Structure 1
């Protein structure tokens, strides 16, 4: 960037900028409480333990979780999803998922198909990413152990009706895993009301924390096999992993400094409210879509303007490779977007963009309306230039 202004529209990958309190808390933690939490009784170790406990309390409040100790910290949502999927499923189990899913769900499932012989049903959505929940009910068999879906597509922005799916899962006695990578911090989530047994979330996106943070909510009635074995600071005399939560799922030294920052990110979300955050992001998203749809050659993926979605706008410009478009936006206009397949090839098949991939622009809570205007004008200029050349 070399101190040049940047218009950051890649919040679906990592949110930026962060609230000042986030990096201030990280610096304070590094200076004052960077010891190993739960591994000692000296003052600094106790401070470190409090950092983790405060983060769990804030997250429990945000997601309406009764017991903060039912939250296990992970490196990111991918780590959390692997813990949920690999920790739950056994040979012969059946899983229901959708064609919207990120590779963080698809690849662990495919790995267990090869290793354990589990069966996976991929339910196809329409081109806007809408899933007919009646297909879920029909797909359930006596061997169905898990329903795993994203709360919002990282390609299309489509919002999945997880409360309705949770009701089906609860009624049919099937466990329910939700990937909230694109919704945590932007949409209201109530694990009890929505029937969620497992909630995977990243810290570095809508929760406004640093990279290398995230977590998994695990319903108190559910026991998972740990993804890793090792030191926990509790039951150190035992050769097996302890059963007490959250230690059972948090082997090794945690990212205390990062979690200190995550706490402040969650505090910011709680103060602003997910309702206010979603309202602003959705308005920015609709303004971007409205501007792009009038540009010759532009095709926008996902739900139409006016239909609720998260802050994701994926699009194609006829005759332009998405990677070239992203390069031009960056180099000529200082606009950061993401191009390619967004780790969801099935999603691109569903949307009809598998041959090319797409350009994804994702506003955030700190995006200004003027930046949306600049993005629209940049795409207009690229389109106009290419038409002139051709």
Structure 2
């Protein structure tokens, strides 16, 4: 077995920092009771884990009140809570062609069941929004504007602050999918006019799978996605109005959330700007190394343009799945091939029929690993 070169961080970051695993072990040993459901010492420790994690997330995203950060199992659940908790029959929504299925499928479900109207703003092959179409759509005064901060296929970065300002000028609620940006791009919910911010714990925030969350502006009340026990106002038949209990029915993933706290603390220690620069440098190394391989086309922003740590490509000579398979079996390199749950972005990139190979770097990726990928692709796809 060759040493694993892990380049699938856009799906899940790995390996996790030692601090994350240590925090989870400590929580399992010392804080594994139900938070908010008891007054004994271990229950209090569990409650403290949740609060401290909300606090560090609030520091990262510049949130004023930690109780406006609610925990979910992943970004998908957070997006479903935001979309289904806000929209009503006949509402009009503006989204983009780089949205993940975690946005598109809930919207299409509500289109079918509630008759909402949805417009997806086109992007070009670089992942840049059609500004004219965006302004025309916003002039129709949508109820909600949904935007991915960074495409999980193209790596393009959308102008969130500008879009948020435009959305608010038209009275719209602004929801941002930070699945590919949390932990590597600066996010300020106030400066960027973000009302709802969905984020994963298991990607750039370095936490374990099964963690994530949603920031909910204090000006917005969503209908809960889940109903059940919260440990508060148990005598009432309705979900409590108080946050975060209103949106966190059932026993939370305290162990995982403890690991998430350690991951976010690591991000705050290093800084998102340093992480972004590190990952950008690696993408440039990969793009420079493979740009002259015959038949290979790199998707998304050109060399030296801003982008997150993603390099996707297609070959006119070989199927994307075969490339990924051979990288894994022959060179011990983990990448991902296929549609990446974002068919509209593939449509924009003209890869809807072929899919693409996606290599994605992370905080622990190295320039040596980038070189190993480049060398392997030259051997697999042909001489440069």
- TM range, smaller chain: over 0.9
Give the aligned partner of residue 221 of structure 1.
Answer: 219
Equivalence for 2:312: 314
**In the TM superposition, what whole-angstrom CA distance separates every residue of 1:332-390 from its partner, at most 9, and x where no partner exists?**
000000000000011100001011000000011101111100000000001238x9xxx
Q: Which residue of 2 aligns with 1:179?
A: 177
Show CA shifts across 1:109-156 (max 9, x none). Answer: 000000000000011111111003342221125551000010000000
Deviation at 1:318, TM superposition (A): 2.0
Say if 1:377 and 1:85 are closer, same or farther in 2 by CA, change over 3 A: same
CA distance in 1, matches of 2:140, 2:150: 28
Q: Please, which moves more after superposition, 75-84 or 136-145?
A: 136-145
Number of residue pairs matched by the alignment? 384
How large is the RMSD of aligned CA atoms in angstroms?
A: 1.1
Aligned to 1:80: 78
Give the whole-Å Cα distance in 2 for the aligned partners of 1:383 and 1:226.
Answer: 50
Instruction: State the alpha-carbon separation in 2 of the partners of residues 362 and 140 from structure 1.
Output: 33
CA contact (8 A) 1:76 1:212 kept: yes
Which of the numbers 307, 322, 325 marks the counterpart of 1:324? 322
Equivalent residues in 2 for 1:1-390, closer than 5 Å = 4-140=2-138, 144-384=142-382
Question: Equivalents in 1 of 2:303, 2:210: separation in Å?
Answer: 34
Query: Are the counterparts in 1 of residues 142 and 170 from structure 2 also a CA contact under 8 Å?
Result: no
For residues 198 and 363 of structure 2, what CA distance do their matches in structure 1 show? 21
- Distance in 1 of aligned mates of 2:145 and 2:44: 39
Q: Which TM-score applies when normalising by structure 1?
A: 0.97
Cα distance between partner residues in 2 of 1:190 and 1:133: 23
Counterparts of 1:315 and 1:218, CA distance in 2: 36
Separation in 2, partners of 1:189, 1:41: 36
- Residue 156 of structure 1 contacts residue 301 of structure 1 at CA under 8 Å; is this kept in 2? yes
Give the secondary structure class of the aligned counterpart of 2:382. Answer: helix
* Deviation of the 1:319 alpha carbon: 1.7
- Higher mean alpha-carbon deviation, 156-165 vs 288-297, is at 288-297
Q: Is the 8 A contact 2:317 2:381 kept in 1?
A: no
Distance in 2 (CA, whole Å) between partners of 1:376 and 1:299 is 14
SS of 1:144's partner is: coil
SS in 1 for 2:297: strand
Q: Distance in 2 between matches of 1:233 and 1:332?
A: 53
- Contact 1:177–1:199 (CA<8 Å) still a contact in 2? yes
Q: Larger deviation: 291-300 or 19-28?
A: 291-300
Q: Is the 8 A contact 2:141 2:172 kept in 1?
A: no
Work out the CA distance in 2 between the residues paired with 1:335 and 1:118.
Answer: 43
If the length of structure 2 is used for normalisation, what is the TM-score? 0.98
CA contact (8 A) 1:93 1:143 kept: no
Distance 1:130 1:142, change over 3 A: closer
- Tell me the CA shift for residue 174 of structure 1: 0.5
SS at match of 2:143: strand
Find the aligned partners of 2:257 and 2:40 in 1 and give their Cα distance: 20
Q: Deviations over 1:40-65 (max 9, x none)?
A: 00000000000000000000000000
Q: Which runs of 5+ in 1 are unaligned?
A: none
